[in-house]
Structure 1
Amino acid sequence: MKTHMLAQQVALVTGASSGIGKAIAVAMADAGASVVVNFHSQPDAAREVVEHIARHGGRAIAVKADVGSESDVERLFEEAVTAFGRVDILVANSGIQRDAPIGEMTLEQWNQVIATNLTGQFLCAREAVRLFRRQGRSRGPGDGRREGQREGQREGADEAPSRALGKIIHISSVHQLIPWAGHANYAASKGGIDLFMRSLAQEVAEEGIRVNAIAPGAIATAINRESVEDEAARKKMLSLIPYGRIGAPEDVAAAALWLASDASDYVVGTTLFIDGGMSLYPEFRDGG
């Protein structure tokens, strides 16, 4: 459903060619944002997301970049600014799994996951903060500042599109909280996102930059298709979800849209668990 919640804003979504990232990109476009659809290895899928957004009256571009590469991330933001003039919202979503028991996990498997899932979030967030500071709130004649905004921010007759100088949303996982045997690299990366996000939020909130996170649980995407489609695996997964259903990418997108909007303007340094109650440790509901 189209809204004007993010009108005149630009959202950059990493890993947006499929799954959760795709759903977030589409939701933000439907809310009026221009969207940068980042991808690494799926150009056709990214192009389809851009075309979908265009067919529904939105604006989007696809940009290939490896979020674990400093030069790629710098270029990603440069291309976003070239296309749309600025970036107001970063959704750091890119993530991978390279699973193995600890005795068999290679250094390459460890480094690949940390590079994308944690270093990639750092590089994107750092570039976003630098850009937010450079571009400020100025948007040309008629831009303004709302009551309560800080001294030095641009004044005028009209309200600025957002109360925040910029918004960063980190996509984490319930496994920033729940240990996951056989997935130590993945869990470590997500645990790192938690304290990175909160430390960053503490550091930049006084500048008007809002930093938050979303921790999805079991979401029906390509990465866990077998667990969703296989009846036995699905039943096992549902036993871990008190609410009794597997989530959809749109569940996460709705949370991201809220965190990107002024409806959550007083929310800073918070992680929303979108997990149907998985993080409640349902194995203990009968006393353990």
Structure 2
Amino acid sequence: RIATHLWVPPQAVGSAVVVHGYYDHTGLYGHLIRGLLERGLAVLAFDLPGHGLSTGAPATIDSFDRYVEALDAALAVLGPRLPGPWTLFGQSTGGAVSMEWLLSRRAAGIASPFARVVLLAPLVRPFGWPVQRLVYTAARLFISERPRTFAHNAENPEFLTFLRDHDPLQARTLPVAWVTAMVQWRRRFERYPASDQRVLVVQGHADQTVDWRYNLRVIDRLFDARVFAIPAARHHLVNESPAIRAQILQAIEGELAGAVALRPVR
């Protein structure tokens, strides 16, 4: 089962579909969701398999296709209730899922229903992958998981403490099977032909979770990409400091201008 969450404000001017990152769940995305609702957008968010309130083994998957199928299922059931135009948001692994969904549908000749796409620190490969790959290659022969490391991935001490010590929905291990699924997805993803799909990438330069320099090169080759860089931002952009979150919402407003008549925030 996929836990889905839908907010539709009165006289909504459009809709946002939000795909969260690895280890995350919808409950961690309150800042982004409130910001979108304040601007008149309906919001559809769901917990990926193995995350939050959705079923599945915690924080693991046999294929990233299962994540894409979850997005398909959420849109199939709740899409008819979403006023247009639509914008797709993906944070980290949610960005990977969003990009795969877009390019796989395009390869099948299916047009995208999204007027805009916003990728927040999207995953293609992790930070330090050349070394991590060697560790993974050896470790998968002997172990099925390792303890999770809680990284300093946002300039927000309260959020980091909550994540580490108080969130009952946080997984405490990194399953090797998830890394295998990520590796297999990446091999396929990077072979897609270039597209004219427009995307906005919001990326922090202090991000040490994804290999953002490498990732931006790949995304620039596959998409019509615009990049909004925030030098001081780390990885978990939706829970960064208030000042950085304000910059992100400003970038979102700029990207949606011309496609969505957002309400002014008072």
Structure having the higher helix fraction is: 1
What TM-score comes out, normalization by structure 2 length?
0.41
**Structure index of larger Rg:** 1
Structure having the higher strand fraction is: 2
Where relative contact order (Cα < 8 A, 6+ residues apart) is larger, the structure is 2
